């Protein structure tokens, strides 16, 4: 985890910062470079960034987030062991994070959707500890972490936002441990669907109906269950009129009863 004083150290002199990281402020050019998405005009900004950023703060971010990257379905954004340089905001699409066992089997550690962030696993050791693989054709904004640290020294709300993101990672891992250690198969699948529903709603999508980009097998790998068990739980929820599943499209019919599971 990031040491507490990493983002809170005293601001470096302006000339020293410029010497270390020569970046051109975005306001000097009204036409962003090809492949660039500006935070100031991005529709996902309210999800990815703090809500109280000033025009000056957004201009600093525009200078740092200088490029986007398209990742085709099945391709890898980064692999375990790669040097940590940047974090990635998912502008479009979705990813799974995977840790490989020594015998070649993969364990899915998470699913990330539009508006969420990838790459914080690399802050601790300076290298990534998992693979990030696109579940569909996706686009990410590349945020160089060294430059982000500089902005965090100057913009306290951004510093707090990064802390919230890292805290969210801790909470997510704790929930996953509880999910695998204490819940029944029925409860795991219900929790998984309700969690996805909440995340889609936060991002302005339907909370009741959504398309699962991951396979049943990948869901089972994430929940510590066999494929057959996942399929059986979906069938059971459908019989009980809690959920309607049509291929990968899922509609939550009775969210209150599903929550009681």
Contact 261, 187 (CB under 8 A): yes
- Closest C-alpha to 61, from 166, 2, 147, 160: 147
| Contact between 84 and 126 (Cβ < 8 Å) | yes
- Residue 111 near residue 214, CB atoms below 8 Å: yes
Domain ranges of the chain: 14-176, 183-260
Per the CB < 8 A criterion, the answer to whether 227 and 217 are in contact is yes
Q: Are 198 and 253 in contact (CB under 8 A)?
A: no
pLDDT of 132 over the 60 cut: yes
Instruction: Say which CATH class 183-260 falls into.
Output: mainly alpha
The per-residue pLDDT for range 27-49, each reduced to its tens digit, is: 333 333 444 567 766 766 666 77
Residues constituting the chain: 261
The model's pLDDT over 242-251, given as tens digits with 9 standing for 90+, comes to 999 988 999 9
pLDDT one-digit tens code per residue, 195-245: 999 989 888 888 999 999 999 999 999 999 999 999 999 999 999 999 999
Q: Contact 84/146 with Cβ under 8 angstroms?
A: no
Integer-rounded Cα radius of gyration of the chain: 20
Q: Choose which CATH entry (3.20.20.70, 2.60.40.1260, 2.60.120.10, 3.40.630.30) describes domain 14-176.
A: 2.60.120.10
DSSP three-state, residue 125: coil
- Whether the full predicted model's pTM is greater than 0.85, yes or no, is no
DSSP output for 38-72 = -GGG-TTHHHHS-TT--HHHHHHHHHH--EEEEE-
Rounded to an integer, what distance in angstroms lies between the CA atom of residue 89 and that of residue 86?
Answer: 10
Name every residue whose Cβ is closer than 8 Å to that of residue 64 and which is 6 or more positions away in sequence: 23, 143, 144, 147, 148, 151
pLDDT tens for 142-181 read: 989 988 888 888 888 888 888 888 888 888 788 778 777 8
């Amino acid at each position: 985890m990031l040491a507490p004083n990493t983002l809170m150290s005293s601001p470096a002199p302006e000339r020293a910062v410029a010497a270390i990281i020569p970046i051109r402020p975005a306001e000097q050019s009204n036409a962003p470079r090809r492949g660039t998405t500006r935070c100031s005009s991005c529709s996902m900004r309210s999800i990815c960034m703090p809500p109280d950023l000033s025009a000056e703060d957004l201009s600093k971010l525009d200078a740092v987030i200088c490029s986007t990257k398209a990742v085709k379905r099945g391709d890898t954004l980064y692999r375990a062991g790669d040097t940590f340089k940047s974090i990635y905001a998912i502008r479009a699409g979705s990813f799974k994070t995977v840790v490989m066992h020594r015998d070649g089997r993969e364990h899915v550690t998470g699913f990330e959707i539009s508006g969420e962030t990838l790459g914080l696993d690399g802050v601790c050791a300076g290298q990534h500890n998992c693979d990030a693989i696109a579940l569909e054709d996706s686009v990410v904004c590349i945020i160089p972490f060294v430059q982000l640290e500089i902005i965090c020294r100057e913009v306290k709300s951004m510093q707090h936002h990064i802390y919230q993101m890292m805290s969210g990672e801790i909470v997510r891992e704790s929930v996953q441990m509880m999910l695998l250690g204490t819940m029944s198969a029925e409860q795991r699948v219900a929790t998984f669907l309700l969690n996805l529903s909440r995340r889609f709603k936060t991002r302005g999508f339907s909370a009741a109906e959504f398309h699962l980009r991951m396979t049943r097998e990948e869901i089972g790998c994430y929940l510590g269950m066999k494929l057959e068990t996942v399929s059986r739980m979906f069938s059971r929820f459908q019989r009980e009129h809690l959920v309607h599943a049509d291929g990968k499209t899922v509609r939550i019919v009775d969210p209150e009863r599903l929550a009681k599971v």
